[in-house]
Structure 1
């Protein structure tokens, strides 16, 4: 666990260094190109978080353009 913490800390420090130096391409290069956000939730959803599920269409929260 300590090694994982050191690895995470090193990665974050490197990201912040690149951002501080204005190395935007280098900072962006540290991120994955494609991420699979699918989670292994039950198809019918989960009672604690009813807004998730495999068959849920688009956003269900009201959105505003006032930011």
Structure 2
């Protein structure tokens, strides 16, 4: 737990990406419900298990 408790590992094989690139795990184009279904859970569990140390960006009215 101590080593990876704030880390997430995602296989990006075949995706052109580099360290420092922006990543969107869920949002307007990627509904959290779809993510939850893919990992066999519910959206609430994803949101409540995301540490407060993870940066959040809130967008309102397209801003």
TM-score (norm 1): 0.23
Query: Which is richer in helix?
Result: 1
In terms of Rg, which structure is larger?
1
TM-score (norm 2): 0.24
